[in-house]
Amino acid sequence: MYQNRGRTWGANIRCLWMLGCLVAASTPALAQSTVNLQMDGGTFAKAMREAVLDPAEKELGIKISVDSNSGNGIADLRAQVASGRPTIDIMSQGGYSAPMVEKEGLLEPLDYKAIDVSAMPTSSYGKSWVAAYEFSAVLTWNTETLKQAVRTPPTSLAALWDFKTYPGKRAIRRRPLYALEAAMIADGVVPTEVYTALAAPGGIDRAFKKLEELKPHVAVWWTSGAQSAQLMKDAEADLGMLWDGRAKGLKNAGAPVDFTYAQQILQVDCWVIPKGAPNRDAAMKLLAYMMRPEVQARFAMATGGYPPSNPKAYDTGIITSEARQQMSGTPERRKMAIIQDVNWWAANIEAVEKRFTSFLQQ
């Protein structure tokens, strides 16, 4: 009897041990069944859900949970990783902030055997980040107050400094991004050499010296896209730099506003995987899916104008000719653009921001 009881007890122990092993083995798979994605909300999130995430769930067999971006991209990422228990698997980051946090060691390296970037320019991805989509800052004007711009549309950012041909009030973003690039163009630098000139000894001094000439003509240093659009619509500014989405929105709605893609400053928003992301492997599969040309094309169509970061998307037949006309990043328009150097900004943004704030206060 005791012998049988011992055998039964031993058998039970073995069963329990085997059950524990099975549960432990299945845990990683269960953890990877959900990918937590943090990005902008609103219409952007709606388009992403319908064009990308819902189809991805069906094809990849994963569930995708979305959190709205708080607007504190770098701070949110740093806090996630510093906690030691990040809850977000994929986060959106601004173009220059992605190389910054990569250098800080806060990101998982991306698997480019799975994520196809073969057609993308090297400015659109790094070891641990990849461009999600493109957008730009464009020269914009009020067609009612700036009649000369209607007769002879400006084709260079130097027009911001041409107070004789294009008189009136300027609207410039209250950050050094775009302002420094425009200043170098106005000082005679060709678009392809803007960042080389800024990186040269005295380059930043040269840009700020040129901005001193512009400063008295700036009516408002805007702080949001909505504010910049309202300034131009209400003729509180006659000429300025707006995000292309805002400029297009005004023009398409019939406001007295026009703009040019000539010398636009083309930039990207990026996807990253935080260091220690709980569902890293599933997140990598989702990123590979999101970067497919046909998926990027669907997203571009759903948003009504966010250009794909993968140039192959333009060859899928999904993007219509009408939609293509609304996109800043087409191969044709890239030839006229200043491609933002995210690595230069990542290395210089903090020092230049401080100097720009001092410049505005003087």
d(CA 227, CA 231): 6
Q: Which two tokens stand for residue 181?
A: 């690039």
Closest CA to 132 of 76, 74, 92, 188: 92
Q: What is the CA radius of gyration of the chain?
A: 25
Superfamily of the domain at 29-134+269-329? Periplasmic binding protein-like II (3.40.190.10)
Closest CA to 345 of 38, 97, 83: 97
SS3 state of residue 145: coil
Three-state SS letters, 147-211: HHHHHCCCCCHHHHHCCCCCCCCEEEECCCCCHHHHHHHHCCCCHHHHHHHHHCCCHHHHHHHHH
The answer to whether the beta carbons of residues 164 and 148 sit under 8 Å apart is no
| Amino acid residing at 341 | D
Taking residue 46's Cβ as centre, other Cβ atoms within 10 Å add up to 12
Superfamily of the domain at 135-267+338-361? Periplasmic binding protein-like II (3.40.190.10)
CB environment 132-159: b (16+ within 10 A), e (fewer):
bbbbbbbbbbbbebbebbeeebbebbbb
Supply the pLDDT for residue 71: 61
Q: List phi, psi (to 5°) of 292.
A: -60, 145
Pairing of strands 239-243, 129-142: antiparallel
Crossing angle of helices 293-303 and 280-290, in 10° steps, is 70
DSSP H helices in the chain: 2-31, 42-48, 54-60, 73-82, 97-103, 147-151, 179-186, 194-199, 203-214, 225-233, 244-252, 280-290, 293-303, 321-324, 331-334, 342-361
Q: List phi, psi (to 5°) of 219.
A: -75, -45
Closest CA to 31 of 210, 336, 278: 278
pLDDT digits over 311-361, tens only? 999 999 999 999 999 999 999 999 999 999 999 999 999 999 999 999 999
Closest CA to 233 of 43, 328, 327, 222: 222
d(CA 91, CA 77): 8
Q: Which two tokens stand for residue 214?
A: 């512009």
Q: Which two tokens stand for residue 75?
A: 């701070």
Supply the pLDDT for residue 18: 44
Beta partners for 64?
Answer: 35
Which secondary structure element, helix H or strand E, spans residue 240, and what is its range?
Answer: strand 239-243
Residues of each domain in the chain carrying CATH 3.40.190.10:
29-134+269-329, 135-267+338-361
d(CA 271, CA 351): 25
Supply the pLDDT for residue 43: 84
SS3 state of residue 315: helix
Supply the pLDDT for residue 42: 83
How far the first Cα of the chain sits from its last, in Å, is 95
pLDDT in tens, the chain (362 residues): 334 444 444 444 444 444 444 444 444 433 447 999 999 888 889 999 999 999 999 999 999 999 887 667 899 999 999 999 999 999 999 999 999 999 999 999 999 999 999 999 999 999 999 999 999 999 999 999 999 889 999 999 999 999 999 999 999 999 999 999 999 999 999 999 999 999 999 999 999 999 999 999 999 999 999 999 999 999 999 999 999 999 999 999 999 999 999 999 999 999 999 999 999 999 999 999 999 999 999 999 998 878 999 999 999 999 999 999 999 999 999 999 999 999 999 999 999 999 999 999 99
d(CA 242, CA 107): 31
pLDDT digits over 165-215, tens only? 999 999 999 999 999 999 999 999 999 999 999 999 999 999 999 999 999
Supply the pLDDT for residue 255: 97
The answer to whether the beta carbons of residues 170 and 237 sit under 8 Å apart is yes
